Amino acid sequence: MTKKKCIVIGVTGSIAAYKAAEICSLLKKNDCNVHVIMTESALKLITPQTFFTISQNKVTTSLWNVETWEPEHITLAERADALVIAPATANIIGKLAHGIADDALSTFALTMHGKEIYIAPAMNPRMWENPIVQNNLNTLIQYGYKVINPAKGVVACGDFGTGKLANPQDIVSKILNT
């Protein structure tokens, strides 16, 4: 019997956070063991209960509400095969590019060193095109992160351009076929 892939989804405070529920569902349908870590900003857009119900696993929202003595971010990293941050905001991209670990997701990402990490950005096209964001993404690529580029289209604020979260099926396909 083959071991189920253990995939961690990092959900950040982009309006595209609701699409992470579809990513979670698609991974479960592909027989993955899915865990979700949400940032404080993501909690303003979608609830942990959604991910708990779909993943059938406890959702991590803080480093400080652990139930055992074991550091949750370390034990989960030992079991995880991959981390996908979808949607990835400019904020989390900047934090990761500079090694900032000030919440559950950014801390967990640092523990995944040497494992597969996918970044699926979602943001306003002007933010996406900002040289600082692009530099931060290039830094992550140099560290081995895999970037799933955003799509072109109308984003939540009504602007048109590149910045929409990639199609959830495409994201899942890249995770499972890499």
List active site positions: 157
CA distance 141 to 56: 32
**Phi-psi domain of 48 (left: phi exceeds 0; alpha: psi -120 through 50; beta: other):** alpha
SS3 at position 105: helix
Give the up-direction half-sphere exposure of residue 137: CA atoms within 13 A in the CB hemisphere.
22
Task: Count CB-CB contacts under 10 A for residue 131.
Answer: 7
